[in-house]
Structure 1
Amino acid sequence: MTEQTFVSYAELILDQLADDPGRTVLTTDDGQRIPAGELHDSVLRMAAEMADRGIERGSTVAVFTGNRPEGLSARYAANLLGARVAFLYEGMAPATLATIVESIEADLLLVDPDAGEAGDALVDRLRNRGEGAADRPAAPAVLSFGPSPLAEDLTACAARHPVRRSPGAARPEDDWSIRFTGGTTGIPKGIRMAHGPYRDLCLRAADRDAPPRLLVCTSIAHMAGILADATLLAGGQVVLRRAFDPGDVLTAVERERITDVFLLPPLLYRVLDALDQDGPAARTDTSSLRRLIYAGCPASPTRLRQAAGMLGPVLHGWYGQSEAGWISEALPHEHAVTGHAGQITVGRAIPGVEIAVRDEDGRDLPLGEVGEVYVRSAQAMSGYWKRPELTAQVLRADGWLRTGDAGYLDEAGYLFLVDRLKEMIIVVGGHVYPTELEDVLLTHPAVAHCAVFGVRRSDESEEVHAAVVPAPGHRLDDELTKDIGAFVTARMGAMYAPAALHAVDSIPLTDVGKPDKKLLRARAGTGAGAVR
Structure 2
Amino acid sequence: MSAAADDGFRTYVEDNLDALGTDPGREALVHDGRRMTAGELRDLVYRMARALRARGIGRGQTVTLLCGNLPETVAARYAANLIGCRVNHLYNKLSAEVQATIVDDVETRALIVDPRLAGRAAEVVGRVPVKDVLVLGSASVGSDLLALAAEQSAEPFPSQAQPQDICTIRHTGGTTGHPKGICTSFGQMRNLRGRLPENRGDQRRQLVCTTLAHAAGFLVDSTLNSGGCAVLLEDFDAQTVLATIERERITHLFLLPPLLYHLMDHPDAARTDTSSLTSVVYGGCQASPTRIADAVRRFGPVLMQFYGQNEAGGISVLKAEDHDVARPDRLRSAGKILDGVEVAVRDESGRDLPPGEHGEICVRSDQIMTGYWKQPELTAEVLRDGWLHTGDIGYLDADGYLTIVDRIKDMIVVVGGHVYTTELEDLLNSHPQVLHSAVFGVRDEDRMERVHAAVVRVPGGDVDERQLREMVRGERGAMYEPARITFVDALPLTDAGKPDKKQLRLRAEQAATPA
Q: TM-score range by the shorter chain?
A: over 0.9
One-letter amino acid matched to 2:434: V
- Which residue does the alignment assign to 1:149? 140
Amino acid at match of 1:44: Y
Q: Distance in 2 between matches of 1:529 and 1:231?
A: 50
- Give the secondary-structure state (helix, strand or coil) at the position aligned to 1:27: strand
Q: Does 1:73 align with 2:75?
A: yes
Letter of the structure 2 residue corresponding to residue 461 of structure 1 = M
Question: Of the candidates 165, 184, 191, which is equivalent to residue 174 of structure 1?
Answer: 165
Equivalent position of 1:296 in the other structure: 284
Match 1:102 to one of 88, 101, 104: 104
Aligned partners of 2:134 and 2:143 also within 8 Å: yes
Does residue 273 in structure 1 map to residue 265 in structure 2?
yes
Aligned to 2:233: 241
Residue 24 (structure 2) aligned to one of 6, 21, 26: 21
> What secondary structure sits across from 1:336 in the alignment?
coil
C-alpha distance in 1 between matches for 2:445 and 2:262:
36
What is residue 432 of structure 2 aligned with on the other side?
A: 445
In the alignment, which residue of structure 2 is the partner of 1:256?
A: 248
The one of 418, 434, 450 aligned to 2:421 = 434
Distance (Å, rounded) in 1 between the aligned partners of 2:324 and 2:383: 33
Alpha carbons 1:469, 1:503 under 8 Å: kept: yes
Letter in 2 for 1:308: V
| Residue 474 (structure 1) shift | 3.2
SS for the counterpart of 1:473 is coil
Report the CA distance between 1:343 and its aligned residue. 5.7
Deviation, 1:87, is 1.1
Rounded to whole Å, the distance in 1 between the matches of 2:151 and 2:92 is 30
Q: Supply the distance in 2 between the matched residues of 1:52 and 1:106 (Cα, whole angstroms).
A: 17
Identity of aligned residues (%): 52
C-alpha contact 1:207 1:234 (8 A) present in aligned 2: no
Higher alpha-carbon deviation: 495-504 or 181-190: 181-190
Q: 1:524: Cα distance to partner?
A: 0.7
Code of the residue aligned with 1:154 in structure 2: it is: L
Are the aligned partners of 2:263 and 2:269 in contact in 1 as well (CA < 8 Å)?
A: no
Pairwise CA distance, 1:457: 1.6
The alignment's TM-score, normalised by the length of structure 2, stands at 0.95
In the other structure, the counterpart of 2:454 is 467
Q: Tell me, what secondary structure is at the counterpart of 2:128?
A: helix
User: Residue type of the partner of 1:317?
Assistant: Q
Deviation per residue, 1:191-240 (Å, 9 max, x gap) = 00011121111245485342311000000111000000000010110000
* Amino acid corresponding to residue 376 of structure 1 in structure 2: R
TM-score, scaled to structure 1: 0.92
1:360 aligns with 2:361: no
Q: Contact conserved, 1:337 with 1:344, CA < 8 A, in 2?
A: no
Answering whether residue 401 of structure 2 is matched by residue 401 of structure 1, we say no
Q: CA deviation at 1:351?
A: 1.0
Distance 1:45 1:18, change over 3 A: same
Displacement of 1:312: 0.7
Aligned amino acid, residue 371 of structure 2: G
Q: Cα deviation per residue 1:312-370 (whole Å; 9 max; x = unaligned)?
A: 11111000000000111110111339999776211111111000000001110111000
Indicate the residue corresponding to 1:193 in structure 2.
184
RMSD: 1.9
Gaps of 5+ in 1: 128-138
Correspondence for 1:506 among 468, 490, 502: 490
Residue of 386, 407, 430 corresponding to 1:420: 407
Taking a change above 3 Å as real, the CA distance of residues 2 and 26 of structure 1, as seen in their structure-2 partners, is closer
Mapped contact 1:337–1:345 kept (Cα < 8 A): no
* 1:306 to 2:306 alignment: no
Distance (whole Å) between structure 2 residues aligned to residue 505 and residue 391 of structure 1: 39
Quickly say closer, same or farther: Cα 1:330–1:48, change in 2 above 3 A: same
Question: 2:97 aligns to what SS in structure 1?
Answer: helix
**Could you tell me which amino acid in structure 1 is paired with residue 191 of structure 2?**
D
Write out the 4+ residue segments of structure 1 that deviate beyond 4 Å after TM superposition. 337-343
Q: Which residue of structure 2 aligns with residue 90 of structure 1?
A: 92
SS of the residue corresponding to residue 409 of structure 2 reads helix
Cα offset, 1:272, TM superposition: 1.1
Structure 2 residue runs of 5 or longer lacking an equivalent are none
How big is the shift at 1:12?
0.5
Deviates more, 1:512-521 or 1:260-269: 512-521
Q: Which amino acid aligns with 1:496?
A: Y
Contact 1:357 1:371 in 2 (8 A): yes
Q: State yes or no: 1:214 paired with 2:192.
A: no
For the residue of structure 1 that corresponds to 2:133, the secondary structure is: strand
Aligned partners of 2:198, 2:488: CA distance in 1, in Å?
A: 42
Query: Matched residues in 1 for 2:39 and 2:328: separation?
Result: 52
- Asked whether the equivalents of residues 82 and 170 of structure 1 are also in contact (C-alpha less than 8 Å), the reply is yes
Cα deviation for residue 124 of structure 1 reads 2.4
Moved more, 260-269 or 158-167: 158-167
Structure 1 residue 369 and structure 2 residue 369: aligned? no
CA spacing shift, 1:497–1:190, aligned 2, 3 Å: same
The answer to whether the Cα contact below 8 Å between 1:203 and 1:233 also exists between their aligned partners in 2 is: no
Give CA-to-partner distance per residue, 1:55-90, whole Å, 9 cap, x none.
111011000100001110011111110110011111
Amino acid at match of 2:510: T
Instruction: Give the secondary-structure state (helix, strand or coil) at the position aligned to 2:308.
Output: strand
**Residue 224 of structure 1 aligns to a residue in which SS?**
helix
2:220 counterpart (228, 236, 239):
228
Letter in 1 for 2:156: R
> Which of 498, 504, 515 does residue 499 from structure 2 map onto?
515
Q: How many residues align?
A: 510
Instruction: Give the conservation status (yes or no) of the 8 Å contact 1:60–1:83.
Output: yes
DSSP-derived class of the 1:423 partner = coil
Shift of 1:422: 0.8
1:383-402 equivalences in 2 (<5 Å): 383-396=371-384, 398-402=385-389
